[in-house]
Amino acid sequence: MTAALDLLDLDPSLSEEERQIRDVVRQLVDDRVRPHVADWYEDGRVPARELAREFGKLGLLGMHLTGYGCAGASAVAYGLACQELEAGDSGLRSLVSVQGSLAMYAIWRYGSEEQKQRWLPSMATGEAIGCFGLTEPDHGSDPASMATRARRDGDDWVLTGGKMWITNAPIADVAVIWARTDEGVRGFAVPMDTPGVTAREIRRKMSLRASVTGEIVLDDVRLPADAQLPEAAGLKAPLSCLTEARYGIVWGALGAARDCLETTLAYATTRTQFGRPLAGFQLTQAKLADMAVELVKGQLLALHLGRLADARRLRPEQVSVGKLNNVREALAIARQCRTILGANGVSGEYPVMRHANNLESVLTYEGTSEIHQLVIGQRLTGLSAFA
Ligand SMILES: Cc1cc2nc3c(=O)[nH]c(=O)nc-3n(C[C@H](O)[C@H](O)[C@H](O)COP(=O)(O)OP(=O)(O)OC[C@H]3O[C@@H](n4cnc5c(N)ncnc54)[C@H](O)[C@@H]3O)c2cc1C
């Protein structure tokens, strides 16, 4: 980021290795993403498989996991990578989050040794793509009410139902599907070429257009007993995966905000009205100052949560604090930057409106802001307002 935006001198708080990882990802985004992303966004098409292999080469997929070809990086390094990816586009950070923190993490944490050997090494290189199916057409914030069912038939499992709004589904090789069984919620590693599985792309999204999203239909999908993730019992298993992915968002959203602010600073210092640069007006400086303050506050929060994660002390409601605050502030920054760019703010020639539109999805997925308020509210009051 431009030195001026590091108001609190956070850079020296990072280790040499963390800074190196960040710089490598930043370079990748500059070389491979920035020149094309406006077109991918406009066309609603992204070369996700190709990008996944490039991300895999750099060790970004399942980056914070250990073994099975994963990089075993720190939580802070993973967060910094998310920040750089999302400075390119939230869709690309979503690709990496869903692959690493949702699909791979679920198999890594809850899978059998055989499932891990089968899927994780090829997912780490980006040869195999994973997705994570929790949300359903009629059950989003309340996954406990899910309608997708898995029933025993001899040794086999038979899955019936449907999942909606599933990132990567149309290009995935494997889906981690969460379904209700007689014993409660269970997870399954479902090869996408299993008979009865279909994935349809959701088109006409006005947000995250550089990300592939789909619907999965499960029509009497017969799976061998060993497709079940043996260590996953109950809804707490998918929720723990969401905590992993939400942590990446805490950092990622700030990447989008930073890119907006950098763009806006450059614009406001060169665009003149009334005979002086926009940046010379007090009202503009007030906006820029408020945004820069929120950005560094968010970065401090992300770094603090990252250090807690690396010390194995991060709690889910702390991740809710980070996701709620940082996505909300990132979206406010993107919208405010849009005003400073005037008409150019609505143009795809600048990244600002694209980031703002993307952040609308980021505000909603991985727990809406209201759900994170309820999580924090429950921690504060001891009362659950969910049920
Ligand atoms: C681009 C994109 C990608 C996604 N990728 C995935 C994925 O890979 N895998 C996956 O499983 N899901 C994915 N999702 C789904 C996402 O997680 C859900 O959209 C989200 O959980 C919200 O569910 P919903 O859309 O059904 O909204 P609803 O649950 O219907 O909520 C609608 C509104 O009501 C509010 N609300 C709901 N309950 C309460 C309550 N108790 N109190 C107060 N307010 C409440 C919500 O906060 C929200 O504002 C994705 C979504 C998008 C947009």
Q: Ligand 1, closest atom to CA 366?
A: 17
3-state helix, strand, coil in the chain (%, to 5): 55, 15, 25
| Predicted pLDDT at 3 | 78
Q: Which tokens belong to 327?
A: 């996505």
Q: Ligand 1, closest atom to CA 141?
A: 29
Gap between the Cα atoms of 159 and 207, Å rounded? 31
Catalytic one among 18, 84, 215, 366? 366
CA of 387 relative to ligand 1 center, distance in Å: 16
CA of 239 relative to ligand 1 center, distance in Å: 14
CA of 368 relative to ligand 1 center, distance in Å: 6
Q: Do residues 103 and 173 touch, judged by C-beta distance below 8 A?
A: no
**Which residues line ligand 1 at a C-beta cut-off of 6 Å?**
98, 131-135, 140-141, 165-167, 208, 213, 361, 364-365, 368, 370-371, 374, 386
- The model's pLDDT over 187-246, given as tens digits with 9 standing for 90+, comes to 999 999 999 999 999 999 999 999 999 999 999 999 999 999 999 999 999 999 999 999
Phi, psi of 298 (to 5 degrees): -65, -40
E strand or H helix at 178, and its extent? strand 174-181
Strand 276-277 vs strand 213-223: parallel, antiparallel, or unpaired?
A: unpaired
CA of 357 relative to ligand 1 center, distance in Å: 16
Q: Whose CA is nearest to atom 45 of ligand 1?
A: 370
Residue recorded with tokens 């969401």: 242
Across-strand partners of 132? 176
Q: Which of 24, 29, 105, 17 is nearest to 61 (CA)?
A: 105
Q: Whose CA is nearest to atom 26 of ligand 1?
A: 140
Q: Ligand 1, closest atom to CA 367?
A: 21
Q: What is the sign, positive or negative, of the torsion defined by CA atoms of 370, 312, 63, 292?
A: positive
| CA 225 to each of CA 230, 235, 248: distance values in angstroms, whole numbers, following the listed order | 10, 20, 32
Q: Which of 208, 350, 326 is nearest to 265 (CA)?
A: 350
Up-side HSE of residue 179: CA atoms within 13 Å toward CB? Answer: 29
In sequence order, which residues have a C-beta less than 8 Å from that of residue 280 and are 6 or more positions away?
none
Question: Which of 93, 368, 374 for a ligand 1 pocket mutation test, highest count of atoms within 8 Å of Cβ?
Answer: 368
Across-strand partners of 272? 277
| CA 276 to each of CA 262, 263, 272, 361: distance values in angstroms, whole numbers, following the listed order | 20, 18, 5, 37
The arithmetic mean of pLDDT across residues 280-302, rounded, is: 98
| CA 6 to each of CA 24, 33, 154: distance values in angstroms, whole numbers, following the listed order | 19, 24, 61
Gap between the Cα atoms of 219 and 315, Å rounded? 37
Does the pLDDT of residue 71 top 80, yes or no? yes
- The model's pLDDT over 2-61, given as tens digits with 9 standing for 90+, comes to 778 999 999 999 999 999 999 999 999 999 999 999 999 999 999 999 999 999 999 999
pTM: 0.98
| Predicted pLDDT at 1 | 63
Q: Whose CA is nearest to atom 38 of ligand 1?
A: 141
Up-side HSE of residue 128: CA atoms within 13 Å toward CB? Answer: 24
- The model's pLDDT over 245-262, given as tens digits with 9 standing for 90+, comes to 999 999 999 999 999 999
Gap between the Cα atoms of 291 and 271, Å rounded? 19
E strand or H helix at 198, and its extent? strand 197-201
| Predicted pLDDT at 387 | 67
Gap between the Cα atoms of 279 and 30, Å rounded? 26
- The model's pLDDT over 85-103, given as tens digits with 9 standing for 90+, comes to 999 999 999 999 999 999 9
Q: Provide the mean pLDDT of the chain.
A: 97
Across-strand partners of 228? 188
Question: Which of 365, 371, 373 for a ligand 1 pocket mutation test, highest count of atoms within 8 Å of Cβ?
Answer: 365
Q: Which of 260, 276, 275, 274 is nearest to 340 (CA)?
A: 260
| Predicted pLDDT at 386 | 83
Query: Confidence class of residue 164 from pLDDT cuts 50, 70 and 90?
Result: very high
Q: Which of 235, 144, 216 is nearest to 174 (CA)?
A: 216
CA of 367 relative to ligand 1 center, distance in Å: 6
Q: Ligand 1, closest atom to CA 134?
A: 11
> Is 366 designated active site?
yes
Q: Ligand 1, closest atom to CA 205?
A: 1
Q: Which of 44, 125, 35 is nearest to 88 (CA)?
A: 35
Q: Do residues 250 and 302 touch, judged by C-beta distance below 8 A?
A: yes
Question: Which of 96, 101, 135, 138 for a ligand 1 pocket mutation test, highest count of atoms within 8 Å of Cβ?
Answer: 135
Strand 184-191 vs strand 272-273: parallel, antiparallel, or unpaired?
A: unpaired
Q: Which tokens belong to 268?
A: 């406001």
Residue recorded with tokens 């007993």: 225
Q: Which of 177, 199, 172 is nearest to 189 (CA)?
A: 177
